[in-house]
Structure 1
Amino acid sequence: MDRFLTPEALAPFRERFRRVAAGLVASLPRGVAVDAVSQVGVRFAVRAQSAWLGWPADLEDRLVDWVAENHAATRSGDRSWTQRVAESFDDLIRSVLEPRRGAAHEDGADDVTARLMRTEVNGRPLTDAEIVSVLRNWTGGDLGSIAHCIGVLAHHLATHPAVQDHLRSGVPDAEIDAIIDEILRIDDPFVSNRRVTTCPVTIGGAELPQGARVKLNWTSANRDEAVFGDPDAMDPERNADRNLVYGIGRHACPGRLLATLEMRIAMQELLAATSSIALDSQRPAERAVSPVGGWALVPIVLT
């Protein structure tokens, strides 16, 4: 599936993402508080992902509602609720796939979803279950992640006007990407993952047997004073090769290029269309509750 996520494969979507971001930013009110998570992050994530996959715009509200319920279920720790939410997303995906198998889509549609449906692995087409699984991982994982990342980025910009000014001055895409990565290292919204050891291992003086369940706290690791010194000090160049926002090794996020492209464009359009991004003085930002990271609410005022 990596071929869908290469720089070459993503290049045609840059202008589509830019139109999505520009349209959203233009619709936001000026001089009053807007929530950078729900009104900016979630809406942009849903619209950008739909543009990438070729999904209909009328799914937007369903996807937005699903993101909210998924976060609530995750916070609750109720596995039965989480399972129901996951199943409802699979149903949503099937509702997108089914019409594409009918006469209305026998016209050679060539969006990402259509190409995925035509993909063969080891000489055979993907099964329905495999297609749903891929789309679930691409979409279910990306929507909430991008929304929370944009919340973190907006909060950082609002509390660091000098960074806003620097980015507005016109900097190369590579530098913007590095700054985005570093902001997310400082305030990593991806809290943790679980793993199982495949052999006996010693980590930090602790001996773990094969089959031990391990919780990796990425947020803590990205703020390790032994590695980064002052974890709040921004140094994109120095910290890049130790940044764990997107994981490491075989479990590194395959959608990193897509996520970075979306976030870069969202930040560029937000900064280009404003002279100031500030926190709302009347309502404080609210942290998300573990196991969700980042911010649940970031009221900002755009001027």
Structure 2
Amino acid sequence: MADDPRTPDWNPRADEVLGDQIRAYDTMRAQCPVAWSDYQHWTLFRHGDVMRVLEDHQTFSSAASSHLSVPNSMDPPEHTPYREIIEPYFSPQAMREFEPTCRSIARNLVDSLPDSQPFDVVERFSRAFALQIQCAFMGWPDSLHEPLREWVLKNHRATLASDRQAMADVAHEFDGYIHDLLETRRQAGPNAPRDVTTSLMEETVNDRTMTDEELTSLMRNWTVGELGTISSSVSILLSYLAEHPDLRQSLANDTTELTDAIDEILRMDAPLMSNRRITTREVEIGGRAIPAGEKVTVMWASANRDERVFGDPDAFCPHKNRDQNLLYGAGIHVCPGAPLARMELRVLMEEFLSAVHTVEPATDAHPERAVFPTGGFSYLPLTIKKQ
């Protein structure tokens, strides 16, 4: 689109945007709610416009990637059998069975945090939790923690730079990890561990087992989503509680409100900024004519702060805002892993709140926000005092 004659309405990569993405998106929502740019193409900032896209997959296709992406970049009917395979892995029973492992990981990490000394939440806590929990859920060895940590950072840098070669190299590197995991299980035969990865290898789609390419794509999507958004979510939550000690104390006293509180904090400050769609026909939205074949960026970080729906976007109103919260999307592509993410974050915060008496911003150190397409923080110095 480098030769596109259209004049950009904004620059998503401008310093003033990346310096405070949430406020920049608030401004765009008010001033130019359907905007064109060379980088994001068409960006939708309003809740109503985003919902229209999510509910009309025939006009706004998910097939916006040039690479196989199972099932994220699929539309019905292709999407349906893969979705049916995935959902049982996040059933209430599956969550109950995994919760003790999740709690053990969370408790050990909280116990490892320094008492009354500043530390970087991102490096010491949020990334470590996301890596350990993802590997545990999938049945992957602890030896993958460090390679996956490096892989996430490389993937983010390549995505931010729109470096197609680097992105391809990073994807190939991940494919190698998955290939080794699949091969290990095949060689083990009936002695292969009975975990999520082995179970996925035995699933059938349209009366056949999935190909290695499909399995790798599916596991890559799960891993990117889990490692990025869970880590971002944890940093956002701890930053918010450090700034709102009364809420921290209230939640410590009554953890039954935790899940709604977590969803509401992440509504205000998105861990995942956006997703993409592509138009299948010409469509008018927000007074702008969008031709067929155009990429559309659904901006979660703005839609979830739309004053028309939520009033003051920074007002903490979890019960009032629950039904309109797009934290996990909506429509046929609503996040299947939402039960897992909610359980992980609830358990982690239960363990944190039970062990920690106070949490405060560190003195003489300043947080650094992550930049698009990642939310949350890249550096978050806090100090805690344990019970």
Q: State yes or no: 1:93 paired with 2:175.
A: no
CA shift, 1:72, in A, is 2.1
Q: Residues 121 and 382 of structure 2 are in contact (CA less than 8 Å); yes or no, is this contact kept in structure 1? A: yes
The counterpart of 1:274, out of the listed 356, 360, 379, is 356
One-letter code aligned to 1:86: A
Q: State yes or no: 1:300 paired with 2:382.
A: yes
Question: 2:118 is matched with which residue?
Answer: 33
Looking at structure 2, the residues matched to 235 and 202 of structure 1 have their Cα atoms a distance apart, in angstroms, of 33
- After the TM superposition, which residues 184-195 of structure 1 pair with which residues of structure 2 at under 5 Å, given as runs? 184-195=266-277
Q: Residues 106 and 348 of structure 2 are in contact (CA less than 8 Å); yes or no, is this contact kept in structure 1? A: yes
CA shift, 1:243, in A, is 1.0
Count of paired positions? 300
Question: 1:64 is matched with which residue?
Answer: 149
Structure 2 stretches lacking a partner, 5+ long: 1-85
Q: Residues 186 and 192 of structure 2 are in contact (CA less than 8 Å); yes or no, is this contact kept in structure 1? A: no
TM-score, reference length from structure 1: 0.94
Question: 2:7 is matched with which residue?
Answer: none
Q: State yes or no: 1:291 paired with 2:373.
A: yes
Question: 1:262 is matched with which residue?
Answer: 344
Question: 1:45 is matched with which residue?
Answer: 130
Question: 2:261 is matched with which residue?
Answer: 179
Structure 1 stretch displaced more, 153-162 or 208-217 = 208-217
TM-score, reference length from structure 2: 0.74
The counterpart of 2:285, out of the listed 193, 203, 206, is 203
**C-alpha offsets along residues 7-49 of structure 1, whole Å, 9 cap, x if unaligned?**
1222100000000000111111111122222211110011111
Q: Residues 152 and 189 of structure 1 are in contact (CA less than 8 Å); yes or no, is this contact kept in structure 2? A: yes
Looking at structure 2, the residues matched to 140 and 205 of structure 1 have their Cα atoms a distance apart, in angstroms, of 35
Question: 1:133 is matched with which residue?
Answer: 217
Structure 1 stretch displaced more, 64-73 or 141-150 = 64-73
Question: 2:102 is matched with which residue?
Answer: 17
Q: State yes or no: 1:118 paired with 2:202.
A: yes
SS, match of residue 55 in structure 1: coil
Report the aligned-residue RMSD: 1.5
Q: State yes or no: 1:142 paired with 2:226.
A: yes
Report runs of 4+ in structure 1 exceeding 4 Å deviation.
none
CA shift, 1:108, in A, is 5.0
Structure 1 stretches lacking a partner, 5+ long: none
Q: Give identity over the alignment, percent.
A: 43
One-letter code aligned to 2:197: T
Q: State yes or no: 1:170 paired with 2:170.
A: no
Question: 1:82 is matched with which residue?
Answer: 167
Looking at structure 2, the residues matched to 125 and 302 of structure 1 have their Cα atoms a distance apart, in angstroms, of 49
Looking at structure 1, the residues matched to 169 and 355 of structure 2 have their Cα atoms a distance apart, in angstroms, of 40
Q: State yes or no: 1:156 paired with 2:240.
A: yes
